[in-house]
Amino acid sequence: MTKDDIIALPNAHLRKRSSKVGFISDDIKQLVTAMKDATLDWEDSRKHEVGVALAAIQVDKPLRIVVIRNNFDNKEDRNFRVFINPEITKFEGITEEDYEGCLSVRDVYGKVPRNTKIRVRALDVNGKEIRITAEGFLARVFQHEIDHTNGKLFVDHIKDNPDAFFVLGEDGHLIKLNYEKDVRDNPILW
């Protein structure tokens, strides 16, 4: 798969709940590899961004599978961890707003409220149960990706906040969007 296999709003498939994976077959393992490839291909096409994570629904496969990069700060580390049937078992910490982007919400970023600490349960690619306490940016990434498996996108969290929408400038800095002109009635976002 390549970046061209990543679907984006207004594709209605992104709004559907994904199904649980019952058996981790060779097809599932091939899908995981394809998801990583698509994420890295997307990253290679972007000057100022890192491909942090991807949910299977973003490549139009309605399965509860998420891949998350091992090291967000090192573009040279192109390895990912796999989370099958991930679920948040507990929300902790406080709620903080921070910036998020999404490979399926093209060129729009948002300042999204998320919990700073969560607990997650999932399976790895070999079917072994994983339990993680995620904090900070990793907690944000998990919440974003698990939202995808439930048919929700980051823009849904901020749709009523006119100050929360941004676009990335040529220099890599975020520029606030005009809510009335660029966001509210934009069919690409909803």
CA distance 140 to 117: 8
Catalytic residue among 43, 87, 129, 145: 145
Tokens 């058996």 -> residue: 23
Q: How does DSSP assign 67-100, residue by residue?
A: EEES-TT-TT---EEEEEEEEEEEEEEEEEEEEE
Cα 165 from chain centroid?
17
If you compute the radius of gyration of the chain from its CA atoms, what whole number of angstroms results?
Answer: 16
Reduced to 3 states (helix: H, G, I; strand: E, B; else coil), residue 32 is: helix
Handedness of CA 134, 135, 140, 141 (dihedral sign): negative
Residue 174 has, within 13 A of its CA and on its CB side, a CA count of 17
Residue 55 corresponds to which amino acid? Answer: A
145 is known as an active-site residue: yes
Which sequence positions are flagged as catalytic? 145
